Structure 1
Amino acid sequence: MRHTVRMNGRHLFLIGYDISDPARLVKALKLVRCHALGGQKSFYECWLTTQELQQTRNALNRLIDPETDRVVFILLNAGTESLRLGSATPIDHGDYFLVT
């Protein structure tokens, strides 16, 4: 049976988005990047509490145009090794989580 590794009540999510409007794209980037540990372009790895997930989801839902934009939240199993190609680096799970 697989389960996700939790860190201080947080779950690891991959958040991806495809936003058609440049102004909304910048706002989405700022919303997601404040939680991100790493990522590339429109995909970011984020450790989120249930409350942070709900707040981020609600904020992005208010921001996007549901006719043209897409957002996906994928719950990752942090205990599974990832397959990486090119210059991709592994997610740093560390022994601590710094909140600023």
Structure 2
Amino acid sequence: MSTNEIPRGGPLSAPTLRSFGTGHVLRDFDLKVIMQISGCERGARRLLRGEPLSTADVGPLTMANHAARHMGYLPLFELGGQGPSIGPEVEAVLCELLEKPGRGQQI
């Protein structure tokens, strides 16, 4: 079979991306990894507090979205339109990881 042929069973479909709102065993670990890889903790904290973001915060948020997609998740942040915001079903998870005393220092 050449690399251009589609294997029997029809065309391959795109994988379904998971939401961070859906709890599963590795969700918190995966989110911590994404935050470490991207360095988006500062921007995420500022969004949670309703503070304006600097241009230096947007790059890490973009990287976090890229890492999330690569790991099979929906994007964490909405970066188009009126301005950056936290994606649907992500705010509660980020609050849990970042805003509870003692939890944010682990990231």
**TM-score normalised according to structure 2 size:** 0.31
The structure whose residues are more often strand, as a share, is 1
**TM-score normalised according to structure 1 size:** 0.33
In our comparison, the structure showing a higher alpha carbon Rg is 2
